Amino acid sequence: MSTLVLFLCSLGLLAGSTVKGVVGIGLPLVAVPLLTALVDLKTAVTLTVVPIIASNFQQSFHGGHFKRMLRRFWTLLLPLLVAIMLGTRLLVVLPEKTLDLIIGLSIIAMPIVLRLRPNVRVKREHERWLNPLVGVASGLLGGISTFYGPPLMLYVFSMRMPKDEFIPAISIMYTVAGIGMLIGLGVMGVSTPTQLGLSVLMLIPTGIGMWLGRFVRVQLSESRFEFVLICVYVATGLSFLVHALF
């Protein structure tokens, strides 16, 4: 990888982490499509994996709910970890255009569901059987693409958690998924040690972007915050569909 390509990839991570700093999610949603314009999907996934883990691990301690969220969602986290490690095998097997089509449709589906069913709600007693199902589905999708976020986001959003519980809950899930992906990438031979080293290097633009994003977030009203979040999902999903079809 040339120095110019590496620099442009760091700008992609900067953009993705800035969005994450603004809306709390979005690092792979923004960064991976930008990086796939420069490198292949497998390399793009590898470059984002360490920044994903680090940024979400830091957010998982928000509000002091880490242990309680861990106890509540362990039946989701274990299937998620296993499924995402196995799902990375599909990253090697499936054609890239097929992957782009799957990713694009899954990302666009979330804001559509939220708009059509704004009052959908997951009851606490349903979590016992929904947790492992969501964990497996999110893990398989995440292993293919790093986009385990849409189903997890929709699931947690549907619980109607307070904001100070939502952030650590979703961040713990994203952290575990990122760890599973890192293990899967290494075991399945998708990533080389050099690529993983470059992923560590990408922590620098990620940290800068997170800081910039948090600064912007305090300027946004709740309605603008929601609008930005939906725009991020739709624009990212469309970019993958265009890449898959053309």
Q: What is the pLDDT of residues 191-225, one digit of tens each?
A: 888 999 999 999 999 999 989 988 887 777 767 76
Which pLDDT belongs to residue 96?
66
Which pLDDT belongs to residue 75?
94
CB 6 within 8 A of CB 18: no
Helices (DSSP H) in the chain: which residue ranges?
3-23, 27-35, 41-59, 66-93, 96-116, 127-145, 149-157, 163-187, 193-201, 203-217, 222-245
Which pLDDT belongs to residue 6?
94
CB 76 within 8 A of CB 142: no
pLDDT < 70 regions, the chain: 91-94, 96, 99, 107, 110-111, 113-120, 145-147, 163, 222, 225-226, 229, 236, 240, 243-244, 246
Structure token pair of residue 193: 């040690």
Query: Per-domain residue ranges for the chain?
Result: 3-245
Which pLDDT belongs to residue 118?
61
